[in-house]
Chains A and B, each alone.
Chain A
């Protein structure tokens, strides 16, 4: 079928690319930047409409506890008895000015919740990414080197196991082995109570415990914070490590077949050196792009990891608000995360474009 195609047909065969004509880095960055807004707009709208289809959030949260009159009064005060469209435009306006509403259960601004707990989630994601890099990239190179031989099979099964094990199950197993049976590491939390109390006295807390512990200047506090981070970091990091392993393996195998690697091989460069020096750098570029998608996976995983380890971050709070049926808080956090995901994806794409000119089509 395809073989009958004449080469002259080829350009018209390709999908219509509205933005493909010319354009340098600046143009690409501009278009990519403008694309953030529809993404955020779509997600915020989607979440708003979905959450409104189940009725007003006050009934959901306080339904059983208030009388019908009190309920109606509070619904009216919050403006939930107005037409949905009016509420929607008001909500859009609020989101535009960075106001994501107040939680119902403890009446705090959602942005404040994010500032208080966002640091913890960021810290967890950071540890997880470190684990993913340390485990995923060298093992991926190793698997490519041993392609289709026994070590490759073992590593690939390992990668699939990383994916197949839910983070909360990995977390439970790690807890059981290292905290309960061996008692090497703490069971849950982000730091021991004493360290947390010490950090409370800091003048400018960041909420990121590692930074706080370092500015506290006490090696014991740093050790304590790191000891608490090991298991959650591994549980969440292995998930991404499996993705990295597979990606590096595939890409290194791909680059090993290119002409310049063949040229190096013909000059007598050893196969191991080929993998380590020649093939792996270009293979890392797709990783940068994939990190963008991994952010979303990490955030989803963070919700589960934080619940498993009582790591008091955004995910833990989100689960708590879900339990309290506080849907304003849920909607706010989800909308904020949508903004976060859209922005990080933009940053990742910009980095990818700066590194690899082929991206800026």
Chain B
């Protein structure tokens, strides 16, 4: 994401069909060896996570707040058995069902948090970067101040403000999402602002100005379209951070009530005392769910990040397949920046 890689990767993209130019698919084609392995693993885990969230009502044997079925109450802290393959919690809920339903809560929070923060961050970044002036300076200082602060603490403060701590399903999800949003906005803001400032000086923006295009048209049509290059990376990394922040809030007791939705962090908090008495199943499975979902999304984000950075991008061994280099790295038939600088000198 550093600025010095910008000129290289803003070269015309590798030619390909439409599918090959979609954000993730393009990188998938670009990747080789281990990097491809990591990207594919990440994509598979993420897809699984999304599917579980989507089909939670079908997969989960019980509801997330269900305490009994036809054969009576589940009982508290029951070890894994045929009826409850992951056992039951101290509150008498089925662990497996809550793990499955928890995926749904997590996805909802991610979607809201990321959508809110992308919209706010992009708007602020565009305006601040393109218009500049005192507004820009003030926003930069505010953004830096928030960026440097422990995000979890900020999220705690916001979740107190928004929901007073505890709440129902939608209140809880929106509260968690908004708390996370405020933490994320500076990240989008920074990236978009930096890109905007770079693009602002491009000849095509000058030309648009000459032709009399309005400021808002230039901002949204010319600058925004070209400034979104790094968004998929931040998007994925933020999604994983959103899961962790949600779990952290839940663990501190700022989650969503167990009767309103299943939330992994809340379940881990309740498992805290179980662990001391050797009850492992109430902590292990919700925890693994967090780790797996974050791992999957982060693998995707990391791979995208590496593929965007020519210094980190893996290269195909030339002796294996010498014909396909142009596919895997920046098109070498074009003159590099250094060449052009030399020529002009």
Residue positions of A touching B, CB distance < 8 A = 1-7, 9, 12-13, 15-16, 35, 38-39, 42-43, 46-47, 50-51, 53-54, 60, 148-149, 152-153, 156-157, 160-161, 163-166, 168-169, 172-173, 175-176, 179-181, 187-188, 250, 253-254, 257, 292-293, 296-297, 299-301, 303-304, 307-308, 318-319, 322-323, 325, 327, 330-331, 334, 337-338, 341-342, 345
Contacts and interface: CB of A to CB of B under 8 A. Distances in A.
B197 A2 contact: no
Contact of B291 (A54, A164, A292, A304): A164
Contact of B150 (A1, A7, A341): A341
Contacts of A345: 148
A283 to B, nearest CB: 13
A166 B290 contact: yes
B102 interface: no
Interface string B298-322: 1100100000000110100000000
A341 B35 CA distance: 36
A152 B302 CA distance: 14
Contact of A7 (B132, B142, B341): B341
Which of A4, A46, A152 lies at the interface centre, i.e. has the most chain B CB atoms within 10 A of its CB?
Answer: A46
Which of A16, A42, A60, A160 lies at the interface centre, i.e. has the most chain B CB atoms within 10 A of its CB?
Answer: A160
A341 B152 CA distance: 14
B173 to A, nearest CB: 19
A312 to B, nearest CB: 16
Nearest to A15: B197
Given A38-B141, A148-B314, A164 B298 contact: yes
Nearest to A296: B150
Interface string B244-265: 1001100111100000000001
Contact of A38 (B145, B298, B314): B145
B197 A307 contact: no
B7 A296 contact: no
Interface residues of B, number: 72
Interface stretch (B71-79, B119-127, B157-165): B157-165
A296 B157 contact: no
Contacts of B164: 54, 60
Contacts of B194: 15
A163 B298 contact: yes
Interface stretch (B21-29, B50-58, B267-275): B267-275
A221 B145 CA distance: 41
Contacts of B247: 166
B51 to A, nearest CB: 19
Contacts of A303: 150, 152-153, 252
B141 A341 contact: no
Given A6-B344, A175-B275, A179-B276, 9 more contacts: A2-B11, A7-B345, A16-B132, A39-B141, A42-B145, A46-B146, A165-B287, A330-B156, A330-B160
16 contacts: A1-B10, A4-B203, A38-B141, A42-B141, A47-B157, A50-B157, A60-B164, A156-B302, A166-B287, A180-B275, A250-B312, A292-B148, A303-B153, A322-B253, A330-B157, A334-B157
A176 B283 contact: yes
B294 interface: yes
B291 A169 contact: yes
Q: Tell me whether chain A's interface is mostly helix, strand or loop, or mixed.
A: helix
B149 A338 contact: yes
A307 B312 contact: no
Contacts of B284: 173
A321 B57 CA distance: 37
B16 interface: no
B212 interface: no
B251 A304 contact: yes
A126 B195 CA distance: 37
Contacts of A53: 161
Contacts of B148: 39, 292-293, 296, 341-342, 345
A2 B6 CA distance: 9
A250 B272 CA distance: 37
Nearest to A338: B149
Nearest to A54: B161
A300 B153 contact: yes
Nearest to A344: B148
B311 A160 contact: no
A4 B207 CA distance: 14
B253 A180 contact: no
B93 to A, nearest CB: 18
Given A39-B145, A51-B161, A172-B275, A297 B150 contact: yes
Contact of A165 (B141, B253, B291): B291
B340 interface: yes
B142 A13 contact: no
Nearest to B309: A250
A46 B142 CA distance: 10
A126 B255 CA distance: 30
Contacts of B236: none
Interface in B154-192: 156-158, 160-161, 164-165
Contacts of B34: 148-149, 152-153
Contact of A337 (B7, B141, B150): B150
Contacts of A188: 276
B337 A3 contact: yes
A9 B38 CA distance: 40
Nearest to A3: B340
A144 B10 CA distance: 27
A2 B201 contact: no
B33 interface: yes
Given A1-B202, A303-B152, A160 B295 contact: yes
B335 interface: yes
B151 interface: yes
B84 interface: no
Contacts of B35: 148
B248 A153 contact: no
A17 to B, nearest CB: 11
A12 B201 CA distance: 8
B248 A304 contact: yes
